[in-house]
Amino acid sequence: MQPDSSIPDPEVPAKVVHRHFTAAEKARILDAYDCASAIERAAICRRERVYSQLLSNWRKQRLEGRPLAVQRGRKADPQAVEMTALQRRNAALEQRLAKAERVIDIQGKAYALLRAVAGESADELDLPPWQKSSSK
C-alpha cells in the first residue's frame, strides 16, 4: 500500500526555522499595512505570516530613525572601533604628509632650475641646507 501524498505529514519538525525579513521586505509590508483598511490589514498579516505586534515593533523602529535591517551577532567593541577609525585617519594623514613633502621637493627643484636658467648657481640660492648640493 502506498502512502497518499495529499495527506500532510503529521511529524513535527524538531527545530523551528525562524523567518528573517530584509529591510526592503519590512518597509513593503509596513507600507501596505498602513494604507489598508482593518479587514485588509488582517489579510496582509495572514498572507505575510506576521503578527501585528511585529509590525508595531517595525513601525516604532522606523519612527525612531533606526534602520529596519537589524545587524545580527555581537556588538562591536567600542575601543576596537575607535582604534580602527584612528588608524584610518593616521594613514590618511601620512599620505597627505608624503604628498606635501613631494610637492615641496618639486617646488625646490623648480626654483633651482629657474635660478640656473637665470645664470645663478644652486649654491648661491637661498635654499634650505638639505636642498643645497654638498659636493664642493
Q: Give the per-residue pLDDT at 125.
A: 56
Q: Where are the alpha helices (DSSP H) in the chain?
A: 23-35, 38-48, 52-63, 78-117
Asked whether 52 and 82 are in contact (CB, 8 A), the reply is no
pLDDT at residue 129 in the model: 61
In this structure, what is the dihedral angle of CA atoms 69, 70, 74, 76, given to the nearest 10 degrees?
Answer: 60
Which of 131, 135, 112 minimizes the C-alpha distance to 122? Answer: 112
Boundaries of every domain in the chain: 23-63, 97-136
Torsion of CA 77, 80, 85, 89, to 10 degrees: 170
Q: Please say if the pLDDT value at position 103 is more than 60.
A: yes
For 9, 19, 26, 43, 77, the CA distances from 49, given in Å and listed in that order, are: 21, 10, 12, 10, 36
Predicted local distance difference test score (pLDDT) of residue 132: 63
Q: Which of 26, 24, 22 is nearest to 59 (CA)?
A: 26
Phi, psi of 10 (to 5 degrees): -75, -10
Rounded CA gap, 30 and 33, in Å?
5
What are the pLDDT digits (tens) for 45-102?
999 989 989 899 888 888 888 777 766 778 878 899 899 999 999 999 999 999 999 9
